[in-house]
Amino acid sequence: MHPLVRLGPALLLLTFAISAPAQTPVDEQRFARLMDDILIVDTHIDTPRYILDEGYDFGIENKTRETDIPRLRRGRVGAVFFGMPAPASLAPAHFVESILDQLDTIHEMARHYPDDLEFARTAADIERIHKAGKIAILASIEGGRLMVDDLHILRDYYRLGVLYMTLSHFGTNNWADSSTDVAVHGGLSDFGRDVVREMNRIGMMVDISHVSDETILDTLETTRAPVIASHSSVKAFSNTPRNLSDAMIRAIAANGGVIFINFHAGYLNQRALEVYEKNQSARDRDLAAMWAQHRNDPAGPDLDLAIRARYAKKMPPVSYEAILDHIDHIVKLVGPDHVGFGSDFDGISAMVPEGMEDVSKYPSLIRGMMRKGYSDEDIRKIAGENLLRVMRQCEKVAAESR
Ligand SMILES: [Zn+2]
């Protein structure tokens, strides 16, 4: 017999192993035990502006948007960081007012739903609230320009409960270059480095989602505490400036930092990204035309979502399993201590992957990690403990700086 013929079945097996990696069957008892007390943290959800601007009811199960208490409960989510951006059209003179309004909304959510929510400021708060069977809610700022270049305001934000600040948003600001805008400072300006040092000193986490690679490197050179990327995915799967290259992932891991995966279908999958980008200007034109007609119409938000959903349907379907691939990429590159979940739900409206349409679907990701053969210890780290570790380290650096 020819040697290759004898090798036939072995070769076939080998081919099968390459095309379909072995999956560990899910042990239902182990899954139930894990879900019983696992802490699931989502580091970036944008719901407060809908509550503030549109009267969105967070206490009931909604058919629109991606987050509310009943769905958080079903998803067994234990802690949520709410992002506070500024509307694109808002003048800088109104930034502080806008943040104070959004912060008030988050604190008021905890007051209105005391059986379900509690405002948290520390890692210990999150653990205590989770053990008490409630959901910890936390506040964060999306874009360094919102501190209006004033360290007094930065410190006041922290005193009011803002636990991290994303150094830039989509635009480059007066001291930090964004990944989606022109590079003005070659990373961080001298004042930008002062901002990072002050954040370390007071205990506010430094978020490098949205910023350019040069800003990431300047931040890592400056910071004395681990950083987070609160809602960024992996460039190896989708080459958008919003995602992180393997070099940046290694640099963040070397700092002890954590990357929280963004669930935007276009950030998860290159083909979806290409369709999304091709249609983006047409979509934005349709949205602007609709809002011009329906400025004060209560139906406006639903019409807005319908337009987004129509364009999202043009994208090739992306399964939630893509999220697991992004997690696995980081685990293989730098280990299980440097990755978590930062969905960007209610910030990526309608661009969600199939099977991960809202916060109620989180258990699917826990099952998915079990199928990939992850240990309970690693699943717990990725689900929430990596975030607690960074928070504690930031608290420690601040305590030692006083
Ligand atoms: Zn963002």
Confidence of residue 213 (pLDDT cuts 50, 70, 90): very high
Q: Two tokens at 87?
A: 């509307």
The set of residues, in sequence order, having a beta carbon less than 8 Å from that of 318 and lying 6+ positions away, is 265, 268, 269, 272, 353, 354
Q: How many whole angstroms from 257 Cα to the centroid of ligand 1?
A: 18
- Condensed to tens digits (0 to 9), the pLDDT of residues 333-384 reads 999 999 999 999 999 878 999 999 999 999 999 999 999 999 999 999 999 9
Q: Which pLDDT value is given to residue 234? A: 98
Report CA(196)–ligand 1 centroid distance (Å): 19
DSSP state, 174?
S
Asked whether the predicted pLDDT for residue 209 surpasses 60, the reply is yes
For residue 114, the model assigns a pLDDT of: 98
Distance between Cα 83 and ligand 1 center (Å): 8
* Least-confidence region, from 10-14, 285-289, 308-312, 392-396: 10-14
Q: How remote is the CA of residue 231 from the centroid of ligand 1, in Å?
A: 7
Rounded to the nearest 5 degrees, what angle is found at the Cα of 189, between the Cα atoms of 392 and 87? 75
pLDDT for residue 3: 43
Residues 102-128 pLDDT 10s = 999 999 999 999 999 999 999 999 999
Rounded to a whole number of angstroms, the CA Rg of the chain reads 21
CA of 262 to the centre of ligand 1 (A): 9
Give the Cβ contact number of residue 31 at 10 Å: 14
Nearest to 326 by CA among 228, 235, 392, 194: 235
Distance 260 CA to ligand 1 centre (A): 12
- At 297, phi and psi to the nearest 5? -85, 125
Tell me the backbone φ, ψ of residue 109, rounded to 5 degrees. -60, -45
Distance 350 CA to ligand 1 centre (A): 15
Q: What is the pLDDT of residue 61?
A: 95
Compare 302 and 217 and report the one with higher pLDDT: 217
CA–centroid distance, 46 to ligand 1, in Å, is 9
- The pLDDT value recorded for residue 298 is 84
- The model's confidence at residue 6, banded by pLDDT at 50, 70 and 90, is very low
Q: Which two tokens stand for residue 81?
A: 């960081």
Whether 146 and 152 have beta carbons less than 8 Å apart is answered as: no
- Give the pLDDT confidence of 247-256 residue by residue, as tens digits: 999 999 999 9
Measure 312 CA to ligand 1 centroid, in angstroms. 18
CB 118 within 8 A of CB 79: no
Which residues face 166 on adjacent strands?
Answer: 142, 207
**What is the model's pLDDT at position 299?**
86
Taking 60 as the threshold, does the pLDDT of residue 35 lie above it? yes
Class of domain 24-269+319-399: alpha beta
Percent of residues, the chain, with pLDDT higher than 90:
84
Work out the mean pLDDT of the chain and round it to a whole number.
93
Closest by CA to 264, choosing from 226, 229, 312, is 312
Does residue 10 register a pLDDT over 70?
Answer: no
Structure confidence at residue 296 (pLDDT): 82
Q: What is the mean pLDDT of residues 24-52?
A: 95
Tell me, in angstroms, the distance from the centre of ligand 1 to residue 344's CA. 7
E strands present in 111-219: 117-119, 135-142, 162-166, 205-207
Nearest residue to 313 (alpha-carbon basis) of 285, 352, 281 = 352
Report the C-alpha gap between 390 and 181 in whole angstroms.
Answer: 29
Give the mean model confidence (pLDDT) for residues 261-284. 95
What separation in Å is there between the alpha carbon of 396 and the centre of ligand 1? Answer: 27
Q: How far is the CA of 122 from the centre of ligand 1 (A)?
A: 23
Q: What is the CA(169)–ligand 1 centre distance, in A?
A: 6
pLDDT at 359: 98
Domain boundaries in the chain?
A: 24-269+319-399, 272-317
Distance 210 CA to ligand 1 centre (A): 7
Output the CA 342–ligand 1 centroid distance in Å: 10
Who has greater pLDDT, 239 or 52? 239
What is the CA(13)–ligand 1 centre distance, in A? 44
- What tens digit of pLDDT does each residue of 72-98 get? 999 999 999 999 998 878 999 999 999
- Tell me the pLDDT band of 20, cut-offs 50, 70 and 90: low
Mean pLDDT, residues 221-232? 98
264 Cα to the center of ligand 1, angstroms: 10
Measured between alpha carbons, how far is 197 from 203 in angstroms, rounded to an integer?
10
Give the pLDDT of residue 21. Answer: 63
Query: Out of 16-25, 136-145, 347-356, which region has the weakest mean confidence (pLDDT)?
Result: 16-25
CA–CA distance, 124 with 92 (Å, rounded to integer): 35
